[in-house]
Amino acid sequence: QSALTQPASVSGSPGQSITISCTGSSSDVGSYNLLSWYQHHPGKAPKLMIYEGSKRPSGVSNRFSGSKSGNTASLTISGLQAEDEADYYCCSYAGSSTFIFGGGTKLTVL
Amino acid sequence: EVQLVESGGGLVQPGGSLRLSCAASGLTFSTYWIHWVRQTPGKGLVWVSRINNDESSRSYADSVKGRFTITRDNAKNTVYLQLNSLRAEDTGVYYCARAGYSSAWSYFEYWGQGTLVTVSS
């Protein structure tokens, strides 16, 4: 099964908003509202940012939001800050107790 | 505070074996499902395996099925991943993650720092 499709990189200036897309298929993203997003600073443990498409864990800034339409999910970060610079991954339940990640998106804050 | 600490990584020849451990603290360990996720060099995160709270259910990515085995010891608050018949493409950092539950056990709520596995001759 191929990875979910994410843009390799996105960039934005401090204060701006950016959106990262995550495209799957009717077998994963389109079938389940079980899509999560992770922030990963190299050398550190990944951090959960969004779960079940649009829910934010306690402690995650409300600048992070998630949505889904059909087979594509999106992560939006508003009011970009320097510390948001990291790799971001989406992950979907794919049925039969398996999961599939996206290829990852490198966010650069200019 | 939830802590997950992986160990057992190292350098191994193709065809060899390793056993990774994930020791947990700060949680009622026997309640939670646990996953293994790996990051290969220059690539992204890939889901590997998961085990439910009482070991009655396990699942694997197709790429490791038949070669890797996930187990747990709730008395020791530890999950294991036995890696057999290792290949070069298994090289990477292996993370364990505690599953989170809302409507389903569908996300990875806490992660360890990872342990590096290198498969090379």
Residue A40, both tokens: 């990963």
pLDDT in tens, B68-117: 999 999 999 999 999 999 999 999 999 999 999 887 888 999 999 999 99
Inter-chain touch B50–A47, beta carbons under 8 Å: no
- pLDDT on residue B102: 83
- pLDDT on residue B105: 86
Where does the pLDDT of residue B26 fall: very low under 50, low under 70, confident under 90, or very high at 90 and above? Answer: confident
- pLDDT on residue A2: 82
Q: How far is A56 from chain B (nearest CA, A)?
A: 11
Beta carbons of A77 and A17 less than 8 angstroms apart = yes
Q: How far is A97 from chain B (nearest CA, A)?
A: 6
Closest-approach residue (CA) in chain A for B62: A1
Beta carbons of B6 and B94 less than 8 angstroms apart = yes
Is the alpha carbon torsion for B87, B92, B98, B100 positive or negative?
negative
How many residues make up chain B in this entry?
A: 121
- pLDDT on residue B103: 79
**pLDDT under 70: residue ranges of chain A:** 1
pLDDT in tens, B29-63: 889 999 999 998 878 999 999 999 999 999 999 99
- pLDDT on residue A62: 96
Match 């569908």 to its residue by tokens. B106
Chains A and B: how many Cβ contacts under 8 Å? Answer: 77
